[in-house]
Chain A
């Protein structure tokens, strides 16, 4: 009896191992078709000579990369992308932690506040960005009207008038779009921290700041790490905001890599160069994600 059950068990175990692959198969097929194939195709395109009609005309070596790196505006585009990503994620992170802490407290209308916070995230970014473009408008924008009424300025400010000021404005828009999702990820992290810690700390006489820095933030760290990696990727790859507000103007001075690659493909008809930018972006993000995880995991095991 005994042996037969153990054989049965083993059989069952082997079966379920195969079964696992069976269940995974559809997902793997989909991931291959929709993730790996396009990624590989982009890599191939980036080292190919591509005609205006989009036809691959043979191996082009690193010519597309040389071309892209040789563009005078490329440095500016990279700088824009880095500033865009770091400032966006950094500022959003600080603000999101504060918002998440507030929303984790019990107060009247908390449900409403949480819902309202989700709205900008649920709205199409195209619509959000168009609305902001009008808010920043020189002559008829709501922001100038508000500042004038409050007596903070005497004449209208041309927010979108220069590359630098327009870029700052777009980062502000980016932050408002990033905060909701960040806050909710962090909020779920906060909710998983047991209240026992706080009760014990209160008994020990800890004040608000002690609890924040010794309990909340350390225990929130896994959630923060996930949030940083995910949002860096989202923000880096964001296209809609810059495309809608300045479309890179003047002369790609406000372009991020995503907007620039669109410009190369659809305004210049240079698909090879566009693919090269795409690959460069992919490599940057991959390097960031690997380094960050390695560094963070090391730190976590060390502590």
Chain B
């Protein structure tokens, strides 16, 4: 069962399956594609009824591994496929509590700073800001030029994307969600300072007015309508507004704390349900067929074409190579992928952290709590 990325998702995957079945006449693969809104509910009812699919890409291993419902990735995929994934992706998928890998990357996207070129030209800004200081300078200019009618910077604290606060700003100030050992550090000094900075931007009138309810989609529309100058968002944004003249730059960082920008990659994962979630036995023949299919699916040709079609990025070395050859303009993203950081999604209580960061942001932007109070409270909740 897979998630629907676009109207063309199902047809494409079905065509891969058809090609595979033509070569492996004794194998029959059933495909079900479900929209993102329902997939979480659908998979839970399937798991509850012991009818889980062999392959699933609508969530993360952390949701299911606690109930012993998953195979380890290495028990399913071939060593060749394992070697083909970007090392950063593979490492990101290690469950820090169990020290094992239960999911493989399925699709990737990467975040960057996008700016409206028309606004920059109108105000007379020649280069995208690289550091927080430059962001403030540029924002002041934009605010003054338009007398406050155009937002300089977009910030999102909604439940859909609010967790990015600690990624876009936390990482670029030396903070983040977890330390190297995988323990939560949401209230570290760097994170508090990062939230204080973005809140200061908000109070100076450089950002959108209601970060708690204005979603990324709302703000992408504002950038496209020349009402917002800069927004950190995903690499599929330009394709949504082909008419828009949009510039791309690295996410700005605080040069007082760190020496370069941290990009953020998001990956959706593929997991493998074991016999605990199914009514039938997994025979060795079946496991071999699954392994063969994955090799087939992730082969450079099929996999990369799928990613290009969906506006996403491949997580394999062979895929990236093919993409760079055929779509040179995407190469910049591939470079960014390699140096990217990820959400701590393989942690089993990641949902609590992610939702908690959104809410901390909402409390800050509505003046209910200071950044320190909000993050301290979240840290306490996560530790208990």
A residues touching B (Cβ–Cβ < 8 Å)? 51-56, 133, 138-140, 158, 160-163, 166, 245-253, 263, 266-269, 271
Residues on A with beta carbons closer than 8 Å to the beta carbon of B40: 266
**B69 in the interface, Cβ–Cβ < 8 Å?**
yes
Closest beta carbon of chain B to A77's beta carbon, Å = 14
5 shortest A-B CB distances, which residue pairs?
A54-B44, A250-B362, A249-B212, A250-B366, A138-B209
Contact between A248 and B159 (Cβ–Cβ < 8 Å)?
Answer: yes
Contact between A52 and B63 (Cβ–Cβ < 8 Å)?
Answer: yes
Contact between B44 and A249 (Cβ–Cβ < 8 Å)?
Answer: no
Q: Given the known A-B contacts A53-B66, A245-B213, are A250 and B363 also in contact in the complex, defined by CB atoms under 8 Å?
A: yes
Q: List 23 A-B contacts (CB under 8 A).
A: A51-B67, A52-B64, A53-B63, A53-B64, A54-B44, A55-B67, A133-B213, A138-B210, A140-B227, A158-B209, A160-B213, A161-B209, A246-B212, A247-B213, A248-B159, A249-B158, A249-B362, A249-B366, A251-B362, A251-B368, A263-B355, A267-B351, A269-B63
Which listed residue, B62, B158, B213, B351, touches A166 by the CB 8 Å rule?
A: B213
Interface residues on B, range: 20 to 34
Docked Cα-Cα span, A49 to B302, in Å, equals: 43
Docked Cα-Cα span, A255 to B54, in Å, equals: 37
Contact digits for B358-377, partner A, Cβ 8 Å, 1 yes 0 no: 01001101101000000000
Q: Given the known A-B contacts A55-B47, A251-B368, are A158 and B210 also in contact in the complex, defined by CB atoms under 8 Å?
A: yes
Closest beta carbon of chain A to B203's beta carbon, Å = 13
**B48 in the interface, Cβ–Cβ < 8 Å?**
yes
Contact between A267 and B366 (Cβ–Cβ < 8 Å)?
Answer: no
Residues on B with beta carbons closer than 8 Å to the beta carbon of A269: 63, 351
B residues touching A (Cβ–Cβ < 8 Å)? 40, 44-45, 47-48, 62-64, 66-67, 69, 149, 151, 157-160, 209-210, 212-213, 227, 348, 351-352, 355, 359, 362-363, 365-366, 368
Which listed residue, B66, B158, B368, touches A51 by the CB 8 Å rule?
A: B66
Docked Cα-Cα span, A158 to B64, in Å, equals: 42
Which listed residue, B44, B64, B69, B212, touches A250 by the CB 8 Å rule?
A: B212
Docked Cα-Cα span, A14 to B306, in Å, equals: 67
* Closest residue of A by beta carbon distance from B352: A268
Docked Cα-Cα span, A245 to B69, in Å, equals: 37
Closest beta carbon of chain B to A231's beta carbon, Å = 27
Contact between B47 and A161 (Cβ–Cβ < 8 Å)?
Answer: no
Residues on B with beta carbons closer than 8 Å to the beta carbon of A253: 366, 368
Q: Which residue of B44, B149, B348, B351 has the most chain A CB atoms within 10 A of its CB atom?
A: B44
Residues on A with beta carbons closer than 8 Å to the beta carbon of B160: 247
Residues on B with beta carbons closer than 8 Å to the beta carbon of A245: 213
Residues on A with beta carbons closer than 8 Å to the beta carbon of B362: 249-251
19 other A-B residue contacts (CB within 8 Å) besides A246-B213, A263-B159: A51-B66, A51-B67, A52-B348, A53-B64, A53-B66, A53-B67, A53-B69, A55-B48, A158-B210, A249-B158, A249-B212, A249-B366, A250-B362, A250-B368, A253-B366, A263-B355, A266-B40, A267-B351, A269-B63
Closest beta carbon of chain B to A53's beta carbon, Å = 5
Contact between A162 and B366 (Cβ–Cβ < 8 Å)?
Answer: yes
Residues on B with beta carbons closer than 8 Å to the beta carbon of A140: 227
Residues on A with beta carbons closer than 8 Å to the beta carbon of B45: 54
* Closest residue of A by beta carbon distance from B149: A139
Contact between B365 and A250 (Cβ–Cβ < 8 Å)?
Answer: yes
* Closest residue of A by beta carbon distance from B62: A52
Docked Cα-Cα span, A238 to B351, in Å, equals: 25
Docked Cα-Cα span, A253 to B66, in Å, equals: 32
Contact between B47 and A139 (Cβ–Cβ < 8 Å)?
Answer: no
Residues on A with beta carbons closer than 8 Å to the beta carbon of B64: 52-53
Which listed residue, A51, A139, A249, A251, touches B227 by the CB 8 Å rule?
A: A139
Which listed residue, B66, B209, B355, touches A267 by the CB 8 Å rule?
A: B355
Contact between B159 and A247 (Cβ–Cβ < 8 Å)?
Answer: yes
Docked Cα-Cα span, A267 to B40, in Å, equals: 11
Contact between B209 and A139 (Cβ–Cβ < 8 Å)?
Answer: yes
Q: Given the known A-B contacts A55-B48, A246-B213, are A251 and B348 also in contact in the complex, defined by CB atoms under 8 Å?
A: no
Docked Cα-Cα span, A158 to B202, in Å, equals: 14
Which listed residue, A158, A160, A162, A249, touches B159 by the CB 8 Å rule?
A: A249
Docked Cα-Cα span, A138 to B222, in Å, equals: 13
Residues on B with beta carbons closer than 8 Å to the beta carbon of A160: 210, 213
Closest beta carbon of chain B to A64's beta carbon, Å = 16
Docked Cα-Cα span, A11 to B366, in Å, equals: 74
Residues on B with beta carbons closer than 8 Å to the beta carbon of A133: 213
Docked Cα-Cα span, A233 to B209, in Å, equals: 35
* Closest residue of A by beta carbon distance from B151: A139
Q: Which residue of A138, A160, A253, A269 has the most chain B CB atoms within 10 A of its CB atom?
A: A269
Docked Cα-Cα span, A163 to B160, in Å, equals: 18
Docked Cα-Cα span, A225 to B112, in Å, equals: 57
Q: Given the known A-B contacts A52-B348, A245-B213, A246-B213, are A251 and B359 also in contact in the complex, defined by CB atoms under 8 Å?
A: yes
Contact between A52 and B212 (Cβ–Cβ < 8 Å)?
Answer: no
Contact between A161 and B352 (Cβ–Cβ < 8 Å)?
Answer: no
* Closest residue of A by beta carbon distance from B209: A138
Which listed residue, B48, B67, B213, B351, touches A249 by the CB 8 Å rule?
A: B213
* Closest residue of A by beta carbon distance from B348: A52
Residues on A with beta carbons closer than 8 Å to the beta carbon of B212: 246, 249-250
Contact between B366 and A268 (Cβ–Cβ < 8 Å)?
Answer: no
Residues on A with beta carbons closer than 8 Å to the beta carbon of B366: 161-163, 249-250, 253
Closest beta carbon of chain B to A268's beta carbon, Å = 6
Closest beta carbon of chain A to B229's beta carbon, Å = 14
Residues on B with beta carbons closer than 8 Å to the beta carbon of A162: 366
Residues on B with beta carbons closer than 8 Å to the beta carbon of A166: 213
Residues on B with beta carbons closer than 8 Å to the beta carbon of A52: 62-64, 66-67, 348, 351
Docked Cα-Cα span, A118 to B352, in Å, equals: 42
Docked Cα-Cα span, A146 to B348, in Å, equals: 49
Docked Cα-Cα span, A161 to B351, in Å, equals: 26
Q: Given the known A-B contacts A53-B63, A267-B159, are A161 and B48 also in contact in the complex, defined by CB atoms under 8 Å?
A: no
Residues on A with beta carbons closer than 8 Å to the beta carbon of B44: 53-54, 271
Docked Cα-Cα span, A212 to B227, in Å, equals: 53
Docked Cα-Cα span, A158 to B67, in Å, equals: 46
Residues on B with beta carbons closer than 8 Å to the beta carbon of A249: 157-159, 212-213, 362, 366
